[in-house]
Amino acid sequence: MEFKHLQEIQEFTLEHLPDLDVCTLAALELFCIKKPPRLHLEGLKRPLIIGSGNALVIGKILFAHSLALFSDESDYKSTLKFVDSAFLISASGTKHALEIAKTLKEKKLKTKLLTCTLHAPAKRYIHKGHFFLFPKNREPYTYNVSTYLGMILSKTKEHPKEILEFITTKIDPLIPKNLSSYDSFYFIIPSELKLISEMFLNKFDELFGSLVSCRCFTFEQTKHSKTLIPNKRELFISFGYENTLFGESRLNLPLPKAANYAALFSIGYYIIGKIQAQHPPYFKENLVSYTKKASTIFGQEIKPIVE
């Protein structure tokens, strides 16, 4: 099997940044070669799961149907007295993760760090043996495709090669060429995989800001007045559901049989990448200036390309 996208992302420059769909295919190719580490999540009584943005969503997926508490950088301190251990999820192990890891150590909470960075700064506060390193690809800042896909696969045990083949043979032929005609998108996702909705919304925020919007709900949620106001410039994209009811413009995308979070994550990010490719390059035009400002805000260098 030729892994052309994996090769492509090793060579891109700031002048030729890849879209999200390319990085999604490259991430699947990566995990055809490398397996993510095995997580032992059993036997935990009341862990605290901490992450920022999509890292927290990953935590919710990993610890679904458990008694875990979930917090981000804003409110985690208020929950420390209710838990007996902690899992800190951070692809880079920098920014807020550094301060959080230090606080958890001061509180003497047994903490495990899930990251994709071997020398993550937050690691200095983590006991030996409590560090999980996930494979990652070289990607533009904030994409975090390979980083989070590996964590999801460690939980769901889905087969990346099958997902990759499904996207290239079943999904790609269905992608319309007029996605730039829409400045609003509505994703209808399976109820049993609804935790992924926040990841899709976060990715739209990062790639499009307020210029291209997305709403994301399950079929059951969509019944409740979500479509009261019609919009001809909104495309309804359903995943694994034949939508014959909602929206004036519709795109129905299949899911693999018994699809889990990795499949939906990959297919969703792939279509978001196609939307990105057919709209003006908002993200690419603003990435460098944004990372310069973010470096000042966080007091550490944030690079536009994450190696």
- Quick check: is 89 in a domain? yes
Q: Can you say how many angstroms the Cα of residue 234 is from the centroid of all Cα atoms in its chain?
A: 23
Whether residue 11 lies inside any domain: the answer is: no
Q: Are 179 and 278 in contact (CB under 8 A)?
A: yes
Q: Is residue 260 in some structural domain?
A: yes
The answer on pLDDT for 248 being more than 70 is yes
**Which of the residue ranges 7-11, 23-27, 99-103, 108-112 has the most confident prediction, judged by mean pLDDT?**
23-27
Question: Do 77 and 128 share a domain, yes or no?
Answer: yes
In this prediction, residue 43 carries a pLDDT of: 61
What does the angle CA 271 – CA 275 – CA 281 come to, to the nearest 5 degrees?
A: 135
Is the residue at 178 inside a domain?
A: yes
Does residue 189 have a pLDDT over 90?
yes
Structure-token pair, residue 301: 């260098």
- Residue 281: predicted pLDDT: 97
pLDDT at 1 > cutoff 70: no
What number is the average pLDDT over the span 120-129? 87
pLDDT score, position 142 = 94
In a domain, 108, yes or no: yes
Which pLDDT score, from 0 to 100, does residue 206 have?
97
For residues 207 and 276, state if they share a domain. yes
User: Do 110 and 197 belong together in one domain?
Assistant: no
Identify whether residues 126 and 166 lie together within a single domain.
Answer: no
pLDDT at 38 over 90: no
Please check whether residues 175 and 262 belong to one and the same domain: yes
189/268 same-domain check: yes
Residue 263 shares a structural domain with residue 190: yes
Worst-scoring range by mean pLDDT, 91-105, 153-167, 248-262, 273-287?
91-105
**Region of poorest pLDDT, from 28-42, 164-178, 183-197, 199-213:** 28-42
Asked if 110 and 191 sit in the same domain, the reply is no
- Do 196 and 269 lie in a common domain? yes
Query: CA 164 from chain center: how many Å?
Result: 17
Check residue 283 and report its DSSP letter: H
Same domain for 166 and 128, yes or no, is: no
Quote the pLDDT of residue 64. 87
Two tokens at 184?
């609003």
Res 22 pLDDT > 70: yes
Q: What is the mean pLDDT of residues 194-211?
A: 97
Collapsing DSSP states into helix, strand and coil, what is residue 252?
strand
Evaluate if pTM is beyond 0.75: yes
Q: Is residue 68 part of a domain?
A: yes
* Whether residues 78 and 121 fall in one domain: yes
pLDDT confidence of residue 129: 78
The better pLDDT of the pair 38, 188 is held by: 188
The residue-averaged pLDDT of 230-258 equals 96
41 lies in some domain: no
- Please say which residue of 95, 115, 133 terminates a domain: 133
Look at residue 179 in the predicted model and tell me its pLDDT.
98
Between 110 and 261, residue with greater pLDDT? 261
Q: In a 3-state reduction of DSSP, which class is residue 104?
A: helix
| Band of residue 271 on the pLDDT scale cut at 50, 70, 90 | very high
Is the pLDDT confidence value at 161 over 70?
yes
The whole-angstrom separation of Cα 140 and Cα 135 is 16
Q: What is the mean pLDDT of residues 228-255?
A: 97
Total structural domains in the chain?
2
Both structure tokens of 162: 């099958």
Neighbouring-strand partners of residue 89: 51, 114
Q: What is the mean pLDDT of the chain?
A: 93
For residues 68 and 171, state if they share a domain. no
CATH number of the domain that residue 225 is part of: 3.40.50.10490
Q: What was the pLDDT predicted at 115? A: 92
How far, in Å, CA of 236 to CA of 247, rounded? Answer: 6
Residue ranges of alpha helices (H) inside 9-144 are: 20-33, 54-62, 96-106
Q: How confident is the model at residue 42 (pLDDT cuts 50, 70, 90)?
A: low
171 versus 108: which is more confidently predicted?
Answer: 171
Q: Indicate the pairing of strand 184-189 with strand 139-140.
A: unpaired
High-pLDDT (> 70) share of the chain, %: 98
**Residue 302 lies inside a defined structural domain of this protein:** no
299: left (phi over 0), alpha (psi -120 to 50) or beta: left
Calpha distance 82→193 (Å, rounded): 28
Range of the domain at 222: 160-283
